[in-house]
Structure 1
Amino acid sequence: MAHYDIFDPVPHRAHMRTLAYLRRGDRVLEVGCSSGALTEHIAAMGCRVTGIEVRPDAADQARRFAEDVLVGDLTTMPLALPLSNFDAILLIDVLEHLVDPVGALRRLFPFLREGGRFVVAIPNVAHWSVRFHLLAGRFAYEDSGILDRTHLRFYTRDTARAMLEQAGLEIDETDVVPDVPLLRLKPRFVGANYRIASLLPGLLSTEFFFVGTPRRTS
């Protein structure tokens, strides 16, 4: 998905879904924090936020709300972070932009404290809108959304889960970001939008959330 520069307050959408996984007082590492649209609301919950952002100009803006923002590419940058420090590590629409998402995810494992959790959101390439265009013989990159031109990888729910498990995450919870035609345009139908999308997640979800912890090794 595109960089988040504006907070989206719609229930069950990516920003509100992310906040629901956090608790007051959490130490949060937000990978891909952009200019801080979500960071501001995480900090307002009483969380202490550290960000990672590839764009220096966006990182400067995010520092208004974060304790610190590291600048660089997650796959190659030095990670000057305290070990076993974070209660939650967020990768919201990040992994699909990376050449090596498995390796990047594994780099973050040492910084999660015991009992902490990863919260990952990944766009759903099997969404009805993409299927419709494929049936018409079209696959056109866009400036934002599921076919964002900066996406290097595309996932369904099953392949996203398989990638996370390959990295070593044990998935404890999954959820949808609903997008039912017509219902999504009516605020009063937000609950129905979510319930129906949950019945047909592969078709009616723009992205999937995964919450998990690194698998214990004996």
Structure 2
Amino acid sequence: MQGHRGPTQVSAAKDYYSRSRREIRSLLPSRASRILEVGPGAGFTLLWLKSIYPDATTFGVELNQALEADLREHADVAIIGDIDELISRVGSKFDLILLLDVLEHVPDPTRTLQAITRKLLMDGGRVIVSVPNIAHLSVTVPLLFQRRFAYTDSGILDRTHLRFFVEDTAVKLFNDSNLVVKDGLITGLEGPKSMMLDRLTLGLLTHHLAKQYIMAGELTGGPVAQPRINWKKSRLIS
């Protein structure tokens, strides 16, 4: 049972659910006809995707029932409930599936990703996943110098996170689900201080400045041979 939220927490939650994840633009396929977002919040990313793929049918599967009205307004099909229980209700397969800031909240991210992609991703379709980077300086510096960390209401140490990732484990999540990472994006380097620090260290701190890894991938027919990933740096503040 959740405790009472103050005005600041409620405002932050509203902003979180109202985000449009436009930083994924470079990872999108050239065409999409059926789009599924798991954990779409109020559906603003699906609304934005509709402007890119006007003929596509958009589906949102959201656990938070309080967001149902907003989601129905912004998606063609809104389904409220847990994705594991509702896979059969979304119909045929999709050529684009989004799981943005979702898998760190589930007990077994690999099992969840496998179940969704095996049953719902078309051959040649694309899945885009974002996960937080626990190696970010905001976490590692207090650990190194103060021997402490503190859970927060949002961000990398969100108290609702059940799993944590670094680059290797983020990629392993994909590969263990028979997915190969085709394109990768890191966020967190959009601000002037982060960009300057990244330049001054000649990129040596890039993966300590990364707040998220966003990966776009496809199913493979067998064992995954993961090529080296050329991580792009997001310059769009989301």
TM-score (ref. length: structure 1): 0.82
Cα pair 2:136 2:210 within 8 Å, conserved: yes
1:67 equivalent in structure 2: 76
1:137 equivalent in structure 2: 147
Amino acid of the structure 2 residue aligned with 1:5: Y
Provide the rounded CA distance (Å) in 2 between the counterparts of 1:173 and 1:55: 30
Provide the rounded CA distance (Å) in 1 between the counterparts of 2:18 and 2:90: 27
Unaligned runs of 5+ in 2: 1-12, 224-238
Residues 115-159 of structure 1: CA deviation (Å, up to 9, x unaligned): 211101111000011111212122111011000111000000111
Sequence identity (%): 32
> Displacement, 1:48?
2.6
Once structures 1 and 2 are overlaid, which stretch shifts more, 101-110 or 174-183? Answer: 174-183
1:95 equivalent in structure 2: 103
Cα pair 1:178 1:198 within 8 Å, conserved: no
The equivalent position to 1:204 in structure 2, one of 199, 203, 209, is: 209
Provide the rounded CA distance (Å) in 2 between the counterparts of 1:215 and 1:197: 37
RMSD: 2.7
Which is helix-richer, 1 or 2?
Answer: 2
1:150 equivalent in structure 2: 160
Provide the rounded CA distance (Å) in 1 between the counterparts of 2:199 and 2:46: 28
Aligned residue for 2:36, secondary structure, equals strand
Once structures 1 and 2 are overlaid, which stretch shifts more, 17-26 or 54-63? Answer: 17-26
In the TM superposition, what are the counterparts of 1:7-46 in structure 2 within 5 Å?
Answer: 7=19, 15-22=21-28, 23=30, 25-45=32-52, 46=54
2:226 equivalent in structure 1: none
1:11 equivalent in structure 2: none
> Displacement, 1:165?
1.1
Q: Decide whether aligned partners of structure 1 residues 198 and 66 sit closer, same or farther in structure 2, where only a CA change above 3 A counts.
A: farther
Q: Decide whether aligned partners of structure 1 residues 48 and 62 sit closer, same or farther in structure 2, where only a CA change above 3 A counts.
A: same
TM-score (ref. length: structure 2): 0.76
Q: Decide whether aligned partners of structure 1 residues 179 and 104 sit closer, same or farther in structure 2, where only a CA change above 3 A counts.
A: same
The equivalent position to 1:120 in structure 2, one of 129, 136, 139, is: 129
Cα pair 1:75 1:103 within 8 Å, conserved: no
> Displacement, 1:78?
4.5
Residues 145-185 of structure 1: CA deviation (Å, up to 9, x unaligned): 0001110000001111112211221111212113376435x
Aligned residue for 2:74, secondary structure, equals coil
Amino acid of the structure 1 residue aligned with 2:62: E
In the TM superposition, what are the counterparts of 1:100-115 in structure 2 within 5 Å?
Answer: 100-109=108-117, 110-115=119-124
Provide the rounded CA distance (Å) in 2 between the counterparts of 1:56 and 1:158: 34
Q: Decide whether aligned partners of structure 1 residues 179 and 197 sit closer, same or farther in structure 2, where only a CA change above 3 A counts.
A: farther
- State how many pairs are aligned: 204
Aligned residue for 1:70, secondary structure, equals strand
Cα pair 1:87 1:113 within 8 Å, conserved: yes
The equivalent position to 1:5 in structure 2, one of 8, 17, 20, is: 17
Provide the rounded CA distance (Å) in 1 between the counterparts of 2:123 and 2:200: 36
Provide the rounded CA distance (Å) in 1 between the counterparts of 2:98 and 2:202: 22
1:51 equivalent in structure 2: 60
